[in-house]
């Protein structure tokens, strides 16, 4: 009997610890309830209502009429909505691909440059990211006007033939808005990549230099593979901003001239608040959400971490000194 007493005490102690952990974990969840309640009320519930409304013809006042998949079919049959989706795909290049490339170049250069005032330069390059979208849109609308500063600068350097109403021309309106988005987003990408470069083991660069690698080869062999997580985050943020962008377009062109800069978010606003077509606006919002999730999922799969076995590449190992 005396030999069983210690074992019984151990079991009892483990039971008390397990009970304490369980009660402690449940009490910890209470801290999440306010955020969870906010998320359910302002995110989950509106999504459910939007999906439900997308199957009705509803103006917000009169009783809703079921229309089945008609609102969704209209998205893929109306030329204007199809053009809006195409414009969003074009903006993906300016709002996502181009800022990521510029951010990589700037981060790679700044990680090697050691000059006085570099911190101030980084802060100045990041300023567009912290500005309000409305401020950015109004400022660039004045800069890109027919009598704006950009056209005046072109005239001063003898390129008056290139001047145009950048936001009023069917051929230049969409690229002009795209470049505004590039100006806004490249600072965020640069900061993300600079933060990632700091975490890279310096011995990898030393080994590469011993092997005779130059700055460009170091960047593609060491820096770029090591920045996979930061590139993934940057692409997710910029792609989401590109597909849901409304402020910049609405405050510069309102989707014009004609429909040359129209995007799904503009049609969602017009259908919901101007045309009182809440069913079609909800259907377009659902399709846009699915499109964002689909593209983000593809991006995450493409830039995912390589196989730990080494078959998928990854950060190059440190070579032995003197090995060629």
CATH for 222:
1.10.3720.10
pLDDT tens-digit series, residues 26-75: 777 788 888 889 999 998 999 999 999 999 999 888 889 999 999 999 88
Tell me the C-alpha distance between 4 and 12, whole Å: 12
Q: Which domain holds residue 272?
A: 70-139+179-302
Asked if the bond preceding 127 is cis, omega within 30° of 0, the reply is no
Report yes or no on 63 lying in a domain: no
Q: What is the mean pLDDT of the chain?
A: 86
Weakest-pLDDT range from 115-129, 199-213, 304-318:
304-318
pLDDT tens-digit series, residues 212-270: 888 889 999 999 999 999 999 999 999 999 998 899 999 999 998 999 999 999 999 99
Of residues 107 and 307, more confidently modeled: 107
Report yes or no on 42 lying in a domain: no
Q: Where are the alpha helices (DSSP H) in 40-117?
A: 45-53, 70-77, 79-92, 98-110
Number of structural domains in the chain: 1
> How long is the chain?
324
Cα Rg of the chain (Å, integer): 27
Q: What is the structure's pLDDT at 322?
A: 39
Report yes or no on 311 lying in a domain: no
Q: Read off the tokens for 217.
A: 């080869």
Confidence of residue 116 (pLDDT cuts 50, 70, 90): confident
Contact 107/219 with Cβ under 8 angstroms?
no
Neighbours of 66 (CB within 10 A): 10
Q: What is the structure's pLDDT at 307?
A: 59
Report yes or no on 284 lying in a domain: yes
pLDDT tens-digit series, residues 4-32: 455 565 555 555 555 545 556 677 778 88
Q: List, in order, residues 6 or more apart from 22 with CB less than 8 Å away.
A: none
Tell me the C-alpha distance between 129 and 141, whole Å: 17
- Per the DSSP assignment, residues forming a β-bridge with 66 are 56
Report yes or no on 269 lying in a domain: yes
Report yes or no on 310 lying in a domain: no
Report yes or no on 164 lying in a domain: no
Tell me the C-alpha distance between 157 and 124, whole Å: 26
């Amino acid at each position: 009997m005396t030999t069983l007493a210690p074992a019984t005490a151990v079991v009892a102690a483990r039971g008390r610890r397990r009970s304490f952990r369980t009660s402690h974990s449940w009490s910890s969840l209470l801290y999440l309830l306010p955020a969870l309640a906010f998320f359910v009320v302002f995110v989950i519930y509106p999504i459910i209502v939007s999906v439900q409304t997308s199957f009705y013809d509803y103006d917000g006042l009169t009783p809703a009429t079921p229309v089945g998949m008609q609102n969704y079919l209209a998205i893929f049959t109306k030329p204007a909505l199809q053009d809006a989706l195409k414009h969003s795909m074009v903006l993906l290049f300016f709002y996502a691909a181009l800022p990521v490339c510029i951010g990589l170049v700037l981060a790679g250069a700044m990680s090697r440059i050691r000059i006085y005032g570099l911190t101030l330069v980084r802060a100045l390059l990041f300023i567009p990211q912290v500005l309000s979208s409305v401020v950015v849109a109004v400022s660039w609308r004045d800069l890109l006007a027919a009598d704006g500063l950009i056209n005046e600068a072109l005239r001063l350097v003898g390129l008056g033939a290139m001047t145009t109403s950048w936001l009023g021309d069917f051929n230049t309106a969409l690229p002009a808005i795209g470049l505004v988005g590039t100006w806004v987003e490249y600072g965020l990408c640069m900061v993300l990549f600079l933060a990632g470069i700091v975490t890279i083991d310096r011995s990898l660069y030393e080994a590469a230099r011993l092997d005779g690698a130059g700055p460009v080869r170091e960047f593609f062999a060491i820096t770029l593979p090591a920045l996979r997580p930061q590139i993934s985050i940057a692409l997710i943020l910029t792609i989401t901003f590109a597909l849901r962008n409304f402020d910049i377009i609405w405050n510069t062109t309102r989707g014009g001239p004609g429909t040359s800069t129209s995007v799904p978010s503009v049609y969602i606003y017009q259908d919901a608040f101007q045309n009182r077509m809440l069913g079609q606006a909800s259907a377009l919002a659902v399709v846009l959400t699915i499109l964002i999730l689909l593209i983000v999922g593809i991006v995450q799969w493409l830039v995912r971490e390589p196989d730990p076995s080494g078959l998928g590449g990854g950060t190059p190992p440190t070579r032995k000194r003197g090995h060629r």
